[in-house]
């Protein structure tokens, strides 16, 4: 009977101006063990995940897409360090684990691009899925159902901290807060910054990052949904630190050019220093 352990990193999507396109991988991990079995079984998952388990649904999707007969598995959640519903890519991690697990059971018949396409079709956008697969910083878009992307290194001169609140925010709610139309000038400003930002992150140009990262197309609509976040933004932002909403929120991501410990007065947010992950998904 086949078995495989899949390790998937958490991710922080958007990076301000890179809405639905940019994301980076973090050294926070979930691990799932897939073991061929006579019946489908989920072990160690929290109860509320059993009904509509995203790892299992994503696993099954691969068989459905390929028209292959399902190979039943027992899936054990060995480790869950990525906070759920906190804008740190926990859904993408489940999806990537599921599709990679299925591909492994099938003898690795799909290449990584095919897996990225399937995972993105489940998630809806590639900004968490891509860095979860590839590690580092990624930018991607969907065209004709396929994902096109670029993968960048992240400068070793940049440091990352996540501020994770003790309350969740559903992505659907955060997306519903966005306007249907945005101002043309805001769109142009965002575009010009977004095309520069990945190279600045790769090269560690922190002065450029501070200018390029801040756009007007989504964060301002979301801060009101995250109690205390705007105060933290003003408290932490300075010459050496920029604060962003991580993904759809409610966590915040701080990027810094100094390796320090961030302190905030709001006790509802946990301060976690993280490193960028370079490897993406790992199969053990
Ligand atoms: N780009 C997405 C958003 C990330 O901001 O809504 C959440 O998956």
Query: What is the pTM assigned to this prediction?
Result: 0.95
pLDDT at res. 49: 53
Tell me: do 81 and 38 sit in the same domain.
yes
CATH of the domain at 173: 3.30.70.890
Q: Does residue 135 sit in the same domain as residue 188?
A: no
Instruction: Tell whether 234 and 118 lie within a shared domain.
Output: no
**Do 210 and 103 share a structural domain?**
no
Is residue 227 domain-shared with residue 134, that is, in the same domain? no
Tens digit of each residue's pLDDT (9 = 90 or more) over 166-190: 999 999 999 999 999 999 999 999 9
- What's the pLDDT tens digit per position in 13-68? 999 999 999 999 999 999 999 999 999 999 988 755 555 899 999 999 999 999 99
Burial class (CB in 10 A: 0-12, 13-18, 19+), 159: buried
Q: Give nearest CA residue, ligand 1 atom 6.
A: 248
CB 54 within 8 A of CB 9: no
Whether 117 and 224 share a structural domain: no
DSSP secondary-structure letter at 144? T
Query: Ligand 1 centroid to 3 CA: how many Å?
Result: 32
Question: Does one domain contain both 73 and 42?
Answer: yes
Q: Is the CB of 95 under 6 A from ligand 1?
A: no
**Same domain for 165 and 145?**
no
CB of 175 sitting under 6 A from ligand 1: yes
Instruction: Give pLDDT, residue 263.
Output: 95
Determine the residue of 54, 93, 128, 141 to mutate for testing ligand 1's pocket, defined as the one with the most ligand atoms within 8 A of the Cβ atom: 128
Contact 175, 87 (CB under 8 A): no
The two structure tokens encoding residue 106? 């099938």
Q: Is the domain of 19 the same as that of 141?
A: yes
Instruction: Please state, in angstroms and rounded to a whole number, the distance separating the CA atoms of residues 20 and 23.
Output: 8
Residue 248 Cα to ligand 1 midpoint, Å, equals 4
**Burial group, residue 267, by CB count within 10 angstroms (0-12, 13-18, 19+):** exposed
CA distance 35 to 32: 10
Same-domain check for residues 22 and 118: yes
User: What CA–CA distance (Å, rounded) separates 132 from 199?
Assistant: 20
Rounded Cα–Cα distance for residues 115 and 232 (Å):
38
Give the count of domains, the chain.
2
User: In the prediction, which pLDDT does 52 show?
Assistant: 81
Q: Per-residue confidence of the chain (284 residues) as pLDDT tens digits? A: 899 999 999 999 999 999 999 999 999 999 999 999 999 999 988 755 555 899 999 999 999 999 999 999 999 999 999 999 999 999 999 999 999 999 999 999 999 999 999 999 999 999 999 999 999 999 999 999 999 999 999 999 999 999 999 999 999 999 999 999 999 999 999 999 999 999 999 999 999 999 999 999 999 999 999 999 999 999 999 999 999 999 999 999 999 999 999 999 999 999 999 999 999 999 99
Measured CA to CA in angstroms, residue 54 lies from 28, 57, 108, 143, 157 at distances of 19, 5, 21, 24, 36
User: Residue 12's domain is classified under what CATH number?
Assistant: 3.30.230.10
The boundaries of the domain holding residue 81 are 3-153+279-283
Which atom of ligand 1 is nearest to 19's Cα?
Answer: 1
Residue 146 shares a structural domain with residue 170: no
pLDDT at 50: 58
Question: How far away, in angstroms, is 16 Cα from ligand 1 center?
Answer: 11
Q: Is-contact 174 246, C-beta < 8 A?
A: no
**Is residue 144 domain-shared with residue 208, that is, in the same domain?**
no
Q: Is 247 in the pocket of ligand 1 (CB under 6 A)?
A: yes
Rounded percentage of the chain residues whose pLDDT exceeds 70: 98
CA gap 29, 15 in Å, rounded? 20
Peptide bond into 175 cis (omega under 30): no
């Amino acid at each position: 009977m086949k078995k495989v352990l899949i390790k998937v990193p958490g991710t922080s999507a958007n990076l301000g101006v890179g809405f639905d396109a940019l994301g980076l991988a973090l050294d926070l991990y979930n691990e799932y063990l897939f073991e061929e079995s006579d019946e489908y079984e989920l072990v160690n998952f929290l109860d509320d995940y059993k009904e509509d388990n995203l790892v299992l649904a994503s696993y099954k999707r691969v068989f459905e897409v390929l028209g292959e007969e399902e190979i039943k598995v027992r899936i054990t959640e060995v480790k869950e360090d990525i906070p759920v519903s906190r804008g740190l890519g926990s859904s993408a991690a489940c999806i990537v684990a599921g599709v990679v697990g299925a591909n492994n059971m099938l003898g690795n018949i799909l290449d990584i691009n095919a897996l990225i396409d399937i995972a993105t079709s489940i998630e809806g956008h590639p900004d968490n899925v891509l860095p979860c697969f590839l590690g580092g910083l990624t930018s991607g878009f969907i065209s004709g159902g396929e994902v096109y992307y670029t993968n960048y290194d992240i400068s070793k001169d940049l440091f990352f901290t996540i501020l994770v609140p003790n309350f969740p925010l559903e992505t659907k709610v955060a997306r519903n807060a966005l306007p249907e139309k945005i101002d043309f000038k805001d769109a142009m400003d965002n575009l010009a910054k977004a095309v520069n930002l990945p190279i600045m992150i790769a090269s560690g140009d922190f002065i450029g990052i501070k200018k390029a990262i801040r756009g007007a197309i989504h964060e301002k609509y979301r801060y009101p949904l995250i109690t205390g976040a705007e105060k933290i933004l003003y408290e932490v932002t300075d010459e050496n630190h920029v604060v962003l909403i991580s993904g759809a929120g409610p966590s915040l991501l701080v990027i810094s050019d100094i390796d320090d410990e961030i302190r905030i007065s709001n006790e509802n947010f946990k301060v976690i220093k993280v490193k960028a992950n370079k490897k993406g998904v790992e199969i053990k």
